[in-house]
Amino acid sequence: MRALITRPREDAGALAKLLGGRGIECVIEPLLTIEPVKDAGLDFTGVQAVLLTSANGARALAAQDAGKSAGAWRHLAVFAVGEATASAAREAGCRRVSSAGGDVGALARLVAERLEPKGGALLHIAGTHVAGDLAGLLAKAGFTVRRAVIYEAREADCISAELISMIEAGGIDVALFFSPRTAKSFVTLAFEAGVSSACEGVTALCLSAAVAREAETIAWNEVRVAAHPDLDGLLALIDEFRRDAGLGA
């Protein structure tokens, strides 16, 4: 079984290792490249907690450590959207990390349960493209959310000749999509490369319904959605696919 990983290279290696342990061959084709925003001007004044909606945010935050705010965020409460993001925050040196174990809605609920609006502002570490309305959800609960854009996720402008050949030859069994933007990018590039029809032999495995909506604009063999929008949910989806295909679990 061969799986296409479309995640940024910073995330793809760890995922490939997990899949390799399941006997799955991986093809890594990053559709987003993560680049830090220089001199982002982080300001933690009056901030009671940091919100992270991706592991990229945690890594970019660690890379921003400079000047008078160096390391200041490591002493604040950090709320992460899921365990992969929480792990990245811990690796970056955060001492107080809580994982919502889900999506932006779950993150907003966790913050509202644990914190009080009067305790101070919330700083959302974000990229130039933001999925979901975290600030809007928390505003309804009375919180003030400031957004700090400290990295950019740049889309690939094409898919490689090697991947095109694999798709055309039926060499990809499943394609993994973790974000609506990545799924949308793949669909666009597949049409441009003339391999959209060849995707009828590939099953798209999507982290959430929002991701699936972007992926299903081309004809796949099948589009499946994880029962829970996190890494464990997608791994369970992969195991389910393998069982259904008679490949074991």
Q: Map out the domains of the chain as residue ranges.
A: 2-31+156-244, 34-154
Contact 190, 218 (CB under 8 A): yes
Q: Which residues of the chain have pLDDT under 50?
A: 66-68
Place of tokens 């090697």: 162
Q: Same CATH fold, 34-154 and 2-31+156-244?
A: yes
CATH topology of domain 34-154: Rossmann fold (3.40.50)
What is the pLDDT, as a whole number, of residue 70? 52
Ranges assigned E (strand) in the chain: 2-5, 25-28, 32-36, 47-52, 77-80, 96-99, 121-127, 145-155, 174-177, 203-206, 222-225
The pTM of the full predicted model, rounded to 2 decimals, is 0.80
What is the pLDDT, as a whole number, of residue 230? 84
What is the pLDDT, as a whole number, of residue 183? 96
Q: Please tell us whether the domain made up of 2-31+156-244 is placed in CATH 3.40.50.800.
A: no
